[in-house]
Structure 1
Amino acid sequence: MTKWVRFRAGGAIGFGTIAHSDITVHDGDMFGANKPTGQTLQLGDVELLAPCAPGKIIGLWNNFRALAAKLNQSIPPEPLYFLKATTSVAAHGTVVSRPVSYDGKVVYEGELGIVIGKRASNISEADAASHIFGYTCVNDITAADILNRDPSFPQWARAKSFDGFGPFGPAIATGLDPQTLSIRTILNGAERQNYPVADMIFAPHKLVSLLSHDMTLEPGDLICCGTSVGVGVMKEASNSVTIAIEGIGELHNEFHQAVKG
């Protein structure tokens, strides 16, 4: 298994593999030809960025059996999804502030993220693995009160796309089996979510295949696989949220109720 990160050091953006706190700097294209430069950096000496810059972010709704049962939702025959603005992306460690234009409930959603590594269009489920670069941790932050505020038009994109509402990282892990993973969400020190990827209605390979029949997936695109039971509101003035997936890492962010001044 390899973990890939993207960082800023000395005013320049770079990428490489990380083991413990050592970053082996690479040159080239993370999703294409690349090789180590011979340079090693310490994690504490760089600014960690989101591990890639997605061209699009796709988010799933109703993709876990346990949550569907709790909400009394039927199992969908095809993926139900929305698009999330790329300007919502935030890195590990970023402080996310309440949007000026919104004063309602804000919820966390711990999720597995799929990062595409090779262009995918109309691919089979059997071919999906070769188009997936790796997996990451996602917090699909949502302005919950906006979703159904207008009964004539569910506002998925708006509710999900405020600046900072798309933290993911800190790394992209390659060479692991996503079906063995579990996603944990810890809010202010208390575990709120702990659910297995194996409960997914549309498993990662199936999901990538089906989505590729709707739209071309490009290297760096991020698919947020949906969440399960345990989603909740971030109520404190300052909230600490960690999305932890063994084998990938821990994504940590803070959400502050005070709007940016």
Structure 2
Amino acid sequence: MTSWIRFRFADGHTRFGTLSAESVTEYAGEMFGESTSTGNVHGVDELTLLSPCVPTKVVALWNNFYALSEKLGKAPPTHPLFLIKPPTSVIGQREPIRRPPAYGGKIAYEGELAIVIGKRCSNVSVEAATDYIFGYTCINDVTAAELLNEDVNFAQWCRSKGFDTFSCIGPAIRRDFDWRAARVVTTLDGVERQNYPLADMIFSPAEQVSLISQDMTLEPGDVIACGTSIGVGSIKDGATVDISIDGIGVLSNTLALES
């Protein structure tokens, strides 16, 4: 039951390793390549957790759960419907979500499962796709909701979801994860807002990796956000969103108070 993290020491140096309940075993090398334990073990409270990977892109799905598809009155898609979020949008555990300075509107949370790619992936079959999945983590796919349809001529998915700090990822990457038996639970200031089964996905993780790899090359560390289900809502300034998936952990981020 291996969980991988990235972390920063107080002196600013960044490392990666495996996480247990109370400690972190440091590794050297490359998380998605050859790596070996350094033998150094650190207390979790001595470190600052970072996003567990540094993606070249975040591929974020829309309408990938039957329950939400039915609620929206939309037919299930025949190919994953997705947008691209830039690497500058990525933050990790307990890092603040920051409101864009020129935007005063609604900001929404979306609790989701995220797939982390482990090796370069292009045009792979569904049967082979699991070999390219390094593991799974949590993601809060944040949205500046009022920008999405600000221009009636063009839905601005990338703009509304691509701001700095709008892809919260973590706390760890779980390698041996049974997504079929898990649920995503999202709470806002401790109040449950989402609780849905991952088994309700329209496209399985293997299908997502296979089909998206036919559209673009996926690189090690890239993230696919598997889409969300019912219960998306807004975050008030100063509120904390927790995304919990059993077997992975709890991702916690606060929308910073306006300065």
Equivalence for 2:114: 113
Structure 1, residues 67-126: CA drift from partner, whole Å, max 9, x if none? 011111111111100000111111101122211111111000000000000111110111
Cross-structure match for 1:134: 135
Q: CA deviation at 1:11?
A: 2.3
Paired AA for residue 203 in structure 2:
F
Q: Distance in 2 between matches of 1:49 and 1:84?
A: 18
Aligned partners of 2:56 and 2:86 also within 8 Å: no
Asked whether the equivalents of residues 238 and 256 of structure 2 are also in contact (C-alpha less than 8 Å), the reply is yes
Q: 2 CA distance for matches of 1:214 and 1:81?
A: 11
- Opposite residue 194 of structure 1, the aligned amino acid is N
User: Once the 2 structures are TM-superposed, how far is the Cα of residue 257 of structure 1 from its aligned partner?
Assistant: 4.5
Aligned partner of 1:149 in structure 2 is: 150
- Alignment partner, residue 19 of structure 2: 18
CA distance, structure 2, for counterparts of residue 257 and residue 49 of structure 1: 21
Runs of 4+ in 1 over 2 A off after TM superposition: none
Instruction: Name the aligned partner's letter for residue 233 of structure 1.
Output: S
Query: Percent same amino acid at aligned positions?
Result: 50
2:5 — aligned with what?
5
Distance in structure 1 (CA, Å) of the matches to 2:87 and 2:103: 19
For residue 227 of structure 1, give the secondary structure of its aligned residue in structure 2: coil
- Cα distance between partner residues in 1 of 2:194 and 2:43: 32
CA distance in 1, matches of 2:190, 2:123: 43
Counterparts of 1:240 and 1:158 in 2: how far apart (Å)?
A: 23
1:32 aligns with 2:33: yes
- 5+ residue gaps, structure 1, are none
Does the alignment pair 1:249 with 2:253?
no
Tell me how far apart the structure 1 counterparts of residues 186 and 56 of structure 2 sit (CA, whole Å). 26
Question: Cα RMSD over matched residues?
Answer: 0.9
* 1:204 match: 205
Unaligned runs of 5+ in 2: none
**Secondary structure of 2:126's partner?**
coil
* Within-5 A mapping of 1:33-182: 33-182=34-183
Q: CA deviation at 1:12?
A: 1.3
Distance, in Å, in 2 between the alignment partners of 1:228 and 1:192 is: 11
Contact 2:114–2:138 under 8 Å retained in 1: yes
Provide the C-alpha distance between the structure 2 equivalents of 1:180 and 1:217, rounded to a whole number of angstroms.
26
Secondary structure at 2:211's aligned position in 1? Answer: helix
